[in-house]
Amino acid sequence: MQEKNIVSLKENERIDDLERNGYRIIQDTGRFCFGMDAVLLSGFARVKDGACVLDLGTGTGIIPILLEAKTGAAHLTGLEIQKDSADMARRSVLLNGLQDKIDIVTGDIKEAGSIFDAASFDVITCNPPYMTSQHGLINPSDAMAVARHEILCTLEDVIAQTAKLLKPGGNFYMVHRPFRLAQIITLLCDYKLEPKRMQLVYPYVDKEPNMVLIEANRGGRPQLTVEKPLIVYKEPGVYMPEIYDIYGY
């Protein structure tokens, strides 16, 4: 790893400590900041040593940076359409001295199949927009709206491009909302990405799940393992032990 670098911050930006390998990340308080879903996805994904990893819609680069800290991946790439977010991601990579391990590419998920070589990644991850464009009032130029709503890409766009870019036998990891689970599994199967693992995430033991983590394998045989539920909070403000483990505290 290269030495860490000094980078400049823009208005409303701050540097947050990721509590992993001393890594830090630049975030803009007026834009979409990463949440628990990205952290849980980085803990759910299985990345073998030497793997080549792509994160679709990487935002400020949180998932590639966490996966670099947690795994033996050889190289990681983040694809992000919003120029300001991609710029923050690049500066975070530079801040942590990871420019030899992580590339940030500015581009459209819908065009990912032409930006990168076909079947060139061992692992692809994605924390996509959860809501369809019909959910609520949205401003298509607003960074938070783009992160939360399917304005610039749809779930099918993500899955279709993943199918093009994964190596045969490669794995796809995604975090999403349970209310779209039927559509997720249908689309994965349509694109020959076989669902292999699934874990529902519950805010409290007595509440309904609000996230789902899913792994799919390109060309895999039909067999889905449903892992035990992941409970986030023991009580308000106090995580369950599994969550502390994922965060690395």
Query: Which residue reads 């009580």 in tokens?
Result: 235
Supply the pLDDT for residue 132. 60
Give CA–CA dist 114/110, Å, rounded: 9
Query: Which residue in 152, 124, 128 sits closest to 45, CA to CA?
Result: 124
CATH code 3.40.50.150 for 13-247: yes
Mean pLDDT score, 136-147: 49
Q: What is the pTM of this model?
A: 0.90
Closest of 53, 68, 65, 69 to residue 91, by C-alpha = 65
pLDDT in tens, 84-137: 999 999 999 999 999 999 999 999 999 999 999 999 999 999 999 865 655 454
75's tokens: 């190289």
Mean of pLDDT over the chain: 90
Residues 71-93, mean pLDDT to the nearest whole number: 96
> Measured between alpha carbons, how far is 239 from 232 in angstroms, rounded to an integer?
6
> Greatest CA separation found in the chain?
50
Distance CA 6, CA 87 (A): 15
* Portion of the chain with pLDDT greater than 70, in percent: 89
Would you place residue 142 in the very low, low, confident or very high pLDDT band (cuts 50, 70, 90)? low
Identify the band that residue 211 occupies on the pLDDT scale cut at 50, 70 and 90: very high
Domain boundaries, the chain: 13-247
Supply 221's token pair. 């045989």
| pLDDT tens column, 174-187 | 999 999 999 999 99
